[in-house]
Chains A and B, each alone.
Chain A
Amino acid sequence: EPEVTQTPSHQVTQMGQEVILRCVPISNHLYFYWYRQILGQKVEFLVSFYNNEISEKSEIFDDQFSVERPDGSNFTLKIRSTKLEDSAMYFCASSEAVGQGLGAFFGQGTRLTVV
């Protein structure tokens, strides 16, 4: 069964460093997303990406964040200068379309720890 793949599964970084989280969405999917979940809290939307551009972003997704689809398969999230409060589980998700009832499928997540 096709799945969303994320690497690495766990990343530890020092405050102020740049990190890149990588994702391979399901191959025939057209919509891509990043969500994050701080430990014990709800899943929060960061950004959606369609047709090679950002279609929507949340208040969390400030200038420190960027996304890229460098080739036909990868989708990346970059955090330019990490802060302690960026520590969270980051989930990549993809969906075939956004019609009624069509949900997004999540990768296994990258646990980011900023020290």
Chain B
Amino acid sequence: QKEVEQNSGPLSVPEGAIASLNCTYSDRGSQSFFWYRQYSGKSPELIMSIYSNGDKEDGRFTAQLNKASQYVSLLIRDSQPSDSATYLCAVRYSGAGSYQLTFGKGTKLSVIP
């Protein structure tokens, strides 16, 4: 059973601060990792992907992957009120014809002006 765990929050950070979101996964065969942003009542929106150990930066977002610890994180620098949303961690195993994403429950982020 592939599990993806996230702290449900809410995580509250002041505007301009760094928000740090964390995710752990159970299946060592997992190969690709994704962060989605979901505003209330809306669909998941892909914001970052990572598949190699280390950091990957895209604008204000940095994804970090540590396969040995089975840990993925997302840092949001200079947080804005518009970043307030639920952030979903998703993992793809990509073995034996499996393409599905397994999602965590998400962490709700609130950026306080």
A residues apposed to B, CB below 8 Å: 31, 33, 35, 41-45, 48, 50, 55-56, 58, 89, 91, 95, 98, 100-109
Contacts and interface: CB of A to CB of B under 8 A. Distances in A.
Contacts of A89: 43
Interface in B94-113: 94, 97-106
A104 B43 contact: no
A101 B46 contact: no
B32 interface: yes
Interface residues of B, number: 26
B43 A108 contact: yes
Given A91-B44, A101-B49, A108-B42, A55 B97 contact: yes
B57 interface: no
Contacts of B66: none
A41 B92 CA distance: 19
Contacts of B87: none
A56 B43 contact: no
Contacts of A103: 32, 34, 46, 49, 90, 101
A48 B32 contact: no
B78 interface: no
Contact of A107 (B43, B88, B94): B43
